[in-house]
């Protein structure tokens, strides 16, 4: 059933009041043709609480048609709609001078949308809207976009916005680093303290937390795409991910915040694993990817209880490349094993301190022992000399194994080997015959263009007993295929990933991790990232 037209103010008011304490996800529709827009609007209304109809996306002929017959489009939505007509410099799809924009809003726009998104420069000239089709300013979102970075004068933009008669304010800017999100959260705080309704979004992957946490920090709405490919702004994830992966409807200011700090983090499946664990344990927590360039500034400004600039309930962090070693100088206490390994992959907020742990090392070793038993004196080869290799060599040495580090760069393999009492060798044309365990601790074979690569061929692996790939995406890597051809037993990286995440869950919540739920979620996550 279509949502009542804008004139039915009474029903709209009731709808918005009912929803005022709940999260609103707005699904934008940006299509070139009427037909495609119509079907997208119907689908958007099924998943969203509001639908934004971007008429600037229509191709020229279809746009002209919308001037005559546009009401029809809005009638397709069973949810309230937002009408948007953006010029290219504000992120729109067409070049529009001020005159064309005014003509649209005053004379050509369909009138059945419940909300109008009008950019700040036009809204500042509100008196112009006394002509033509009437504008109800209690239904207007006054918007401003910056696709380059964080405007230096954000507070001035806010000041100018509140000079317009628009009820709702929207500021979206490009985040280059996760710390840029602080400015968006501060805007929401200011809006709340001045009793204004606001949408504040940091765009780009680094700004994801503002999209997930915005509503529970008072944002009027957040945007979620219908499909990944139909996102209308950088960093916009799907409405479905907001609802089912991040459980946005259940987040509040009390929700415990966790996530993965790294660069890149886009393809991580850890959010699938840990959010599923929180849900299964009925723990009020959320786990998000944090795209971090400068780890010490992130820790200082957003994480450390003594210095952070955001009032949020931060519980802990997973840390991945390239920050596992550099993060150590930001912590108050480091677990002795993590100190020896020289890498922290888990941080726990305890009181006003940060404590660092390494859950990779135990998770690495746990799948090996059941397969080949006692590791004392076992001959083990670790290929690679980075963070994962360090954890692997350390835990194998703890078990009394004899370890050789193979790397393409002997200058990196040697110090790692010496630190843990292992040997080192050049990777080129290495032969692994006689080794009990051969570990791939390089990214070779990872999906996304490197699937066909392997650090060792079947010929090199012949005569080795067990091949263990730390790469988990894809589940079956080229290295594992080569090892199977060579007659080795196999272990993939997913088991280690889930085991180390389970230990993080335990460190953060104090509860036993729901292993099976986490394993199933990991497989589901991989399905989304193939
Ligand atoms: P890292 O610190 O960046 O180390 C990567 C290592 O691989 C370096 O020694 C690097 O050598 C080497 N390498 C890269 N490309 C190579 C190539 N073409 N040929 C030979 N060696 C190459 O990364 P990391 O944190 O150790 O992670 C390594 C892999 O393990 C990643 O795929 C990661 O996803 C995986 N991992 C999995 C788990 C799990 O739970 N399953 C946990 C941790 C890591 P250079 O220094 O010469 O570049």
Q: How far is CA 21 from the centre of its chain?
A: 25
Ligand 1 atom at shortest distance from the alpha carbon of 388:
26
pLDDT band, residue 5 (cuts 50/70/90): low
pLDDT, residue 3, reads 55
Give pTM, 2 decimals: 0.93
Ligand 1 atom at shortest distance from the alpha carbon of 363:
40
Alpha carbon of 145 to ligand 1 centroid (Å): 38
Residue 237: CB atoms within 10 A of its CB come to: 19
Three-state SS at 69? helix
* Active-site residue, 93 included: no
pLDDT, residue 16, reads 59
pLDDT in tens, 465-497: 999 999 999 999 999 999 999 999 999 999 999
pLDDT, residue 10, reads 58
Ligand 1 atom at shortest distance from the alpha carbon of 427:
20
Alpha carbon of 375 to ligand 1 centroid (Å): 23
Q: What is the mean pLDDT of residues 19-26?
A: 76
Q: What is the mean pLDDT of residues 46-57?
A: 96
Contacts of 235 (CB under 8 A, 6+ apart): 175, 202, 203, 204, 205, 206, 207, 208, 211
Question: In the chain, what percentage of residues exceed pLDDT 90?
Answer: 87
Higher pLDDT, 402 or 264: 402
Cβ of 410 below 6 Å from ligand 1: no
* Residue 299: both structure tokens together: 């820790």
Check pLDDT > 70 for residue 443: yes
Q: Which of 323, 324, 355, 402 is catalytic?
A: 324
**Could you tell which of 359, 407, 430, 443 is best to mutate to test the pocket of ligand 1, judged by most ligand atoms within 8 Å of the CB?**
443
Annotate 271-320 with three-state secondary structure: HHHHHHHHHHCCCCEEEEEEECCCHHHHHHHHHCCCCCCCCCCEEEEEEC
**Could you tell which of 368, 382, 386, 390 is best to mutate to test the pocket of ligand 1, judged by most ligand atoms within 8 Å of the CB?**
386
pLDDT band, residue 86 (cuts 50/70/90): very high
DSSP H stretches of helix in 149-203? 154-161, 181-193
Cβ of 175 below 6 Å from ligand 1: no
pLDDT, residue 67, reads 85
Annotate 326-379 with three-state secondary structure: HHHHHCCEECHHHHHHCCCCEEEEECCEEEEECCHHHHHHCCCHHHHCCCCCCE
Q: What is the mean pLDDT of residues 117-129?
A: 93
Contact assessment for residue 269 and residue 526, using Cβ atoms and an 8 Å cutoff: yes
Ligand 1 atom at shortest distance from the alpha carbon of 497:
40
Check pLDDT > 90 for residue 8: no
Q: What is the mean pLDDT of residues 361-366?
A: 96
Alpha carbon of 69 to ligand 1 centroid (Å): 57
pLDDT band, residue 402 (cuts 50/70/90): very high
**Could you tell which of 327, 441, 450 is best to mutate to test the pocket of ligand 1, judged by most ligand atoms within 8 Å of the CB?**
441
Cβ of 468 below 6 Å from ligand 1: no
**Could you tell which of 262, 324, 327, 408 is best to mutate to test the pocket of ligand 1, judged by most ligand atoms within 8 Å of the CB?**
408
pLDDT band, residue 19 (cuts 50/70/90): low
pLDDT, residue 66, reads 85
Alpha carbon of 483 to ligand 1 centroid (Å): 19
Higher pLDDT, 133 or 48: 48
pLDDT, residue 277, reads 98
Q: How far apart, in whole angstroms, are the C-alpha atoms of residue 254 and residue 277?
A: 18
Average of per-residue pLDDT values in the chain? 94
Q: What is the mean pLDDT of residues 256-276?
A: 96
Among protein residues, the one whose CA lies closest to atom 34 of ligand 1 = 471
* Active-site residue, 59 included: no
Check pLDDT > 70 for residue 11: no
Q: How far apart, in whole angstroms, are the C-alpha atoms of residue 147 and residue 155?
A: 17
Q: How far apart, in whole angstroms, are the C-alpha atoms of residue 370 and residue 208?
A: 40
* Residue 32: both structure tokens together: 């070139």
Check pLDDT > 80 for residue 521: yes
Q: What is the mean pLDDT of residues 444-449?
A: 90
Among protein residues, the one whose CA lies closest to atom 44 of ligand 1 = 388
Q: What is the mean pLDDT of residues 6-12?
A: 56
Alpha carbon of 383 to ligand 1 centroid (Å): 9
Check pLDDT > 80 for residue 12: no
Three-state SS at 225? strand
pLDDT band, residue 448 (cuts 50/70/90): confident
pLDDT band, residue 230 (cuts 50/70/90): confident
Ligand 1 atom at shortest distance from the alpha carbon of 385:
9
Q: Which of 335, 360, 436, 469 is catalytic?
A: 360
* Residue 30: both structure tokens together: 């940006």
* Active-site residue, 8 included: no
Q: What is the mean pLDDT of residues 81-110?
A: 94
pLDDT, residue 18, reads 47
Cβ of 386 below 6 Å from ligand 1: yes
Contacts of 306 (CB under 8 A, 6+ apart): 352
* Active-site residue, 177 included: no
Cβ of 503 below 6 Å from ligand 1: no
Q: How far apart, in whole angstroms, are the C-alpha atoms of residue 239 and residue 41?
A: 14
pLDDT band, residue 7 (cuts 50/70/90): very low
Cβ of 445 below 6 Å from ligand 1: no
pLDDT, residue 232, reads 86
Three-state SS at 85? coil
pLDDT, residue 262, reads 96
Q: What are the angstrom distances between the C-alpha of 320 and each of 116, 290, 468?
A: 42, 10, 20
Q: What is the mean pLDDT of residues 414-441?
A: 96
Cβ of 430 below 6 Å from ligand 1: no
Check pLDDT > 80 for residue 302: yes
């Amino acid at each position: 059933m279509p949502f009542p037209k804008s004139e039915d103010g009474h029903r709209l008011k009731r709808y918005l009041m009912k929803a005022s304490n709940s999260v609103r996800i707005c699904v934008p529709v940006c299509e070139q043709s009427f037909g495609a827009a119509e079907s997208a609007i119907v689908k958007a209304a099924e998943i969203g609480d509001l639908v934004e109809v971007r008429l600037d996306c229509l191709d020229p002929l279809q746009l002209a048609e919308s001037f005559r017959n546009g009401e029809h489009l809005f009638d397709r939505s069973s949810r309230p709609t937002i009408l948007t007509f953006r010029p290219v410099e504000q992120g729109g799809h067409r070049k529009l001078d001020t005159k064309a924009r005014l003509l649209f809003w005053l004379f050509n726009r369909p009138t059945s949308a419940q909300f109008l998104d009008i950019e700040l420069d036009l809204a500042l000239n509100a008196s112009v809207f006394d002509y033509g089709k009437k504008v109800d300013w209690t239904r207007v979102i006054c918007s401003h976009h910056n696709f380059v970075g964080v405007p230096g004068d954000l507070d001035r933009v806010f000041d100018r916005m509140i000079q317009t008669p628009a009820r709702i304010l929207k500021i979206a800017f490009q985040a280059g680093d996760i710390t840029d999100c602080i400015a968006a959260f501060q805007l929401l705080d200011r809006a709340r303290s001045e009793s204004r309704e606001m949408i504040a979004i940091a765009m780009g992957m680094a700004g994801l937390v503002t999209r997930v946490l915005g509503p529970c920090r008072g944002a009027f709405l957040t945007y979620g795409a219908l499909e990944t490919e139909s996102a209308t702004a950088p960093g916009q994830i799907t409405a479905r991910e907001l609802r089912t992966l991040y459980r946005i409807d259940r987040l509040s200011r009390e929700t415990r915040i966790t996530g993965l700090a790294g660069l890149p983090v886009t393809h991580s499946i850890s959010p699938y694993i840990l959010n599923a664990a929180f849900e299964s344990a009925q723990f009020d927590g959320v786990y998000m990817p944090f795209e971090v360039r400068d780890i010490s500034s992130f820790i200082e400004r957003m994480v450390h209880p003594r210095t952070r600039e955001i009032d949020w309930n931060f519980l802990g962090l997973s840390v991945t490349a390239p920050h596992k070693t550099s993060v150590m100088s930001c912590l108050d206490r480091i677990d002795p094993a993590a100190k020896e390994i020289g890498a922290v992959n888990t941080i726990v907020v305890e009181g006003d301190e940060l404590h660092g742990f390494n859950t990779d090392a135990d998770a690495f070793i746990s799948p090996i022992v059941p397969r080949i038993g006692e590791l004392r004196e076992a001959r083990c080869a670790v290929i690679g000399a980075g963070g994962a290799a360090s954890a692997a060599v350390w835990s194998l040495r703890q078990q009394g194994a004899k370890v050789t580090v193979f790397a393409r760069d002997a200058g990196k393999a040697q110090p790692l080997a010496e630190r843990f009492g292992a040997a080192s060798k050049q990777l080129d044309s290495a032969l692994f015959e006689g080794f009990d365990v051969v570990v791939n601790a390089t990214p070779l074979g990872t999906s996304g263009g490197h699937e066909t690569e392997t650090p060792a061929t079947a010929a090199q692996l012949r005569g080795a007993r067990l091949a263990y790939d730390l790469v988990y995406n894809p589940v079956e890597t080229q290295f594992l295929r080569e090892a199977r051809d060579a007659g080795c037993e196999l272990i993939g990286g997913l088991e280690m990933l889930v085991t180390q995440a389970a230990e993080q869950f335990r460190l953060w919540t104090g509860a036993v991790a729901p292993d099976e739920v986490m394993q199933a979620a990991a497989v589901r996550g991989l399905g989304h990232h193939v």
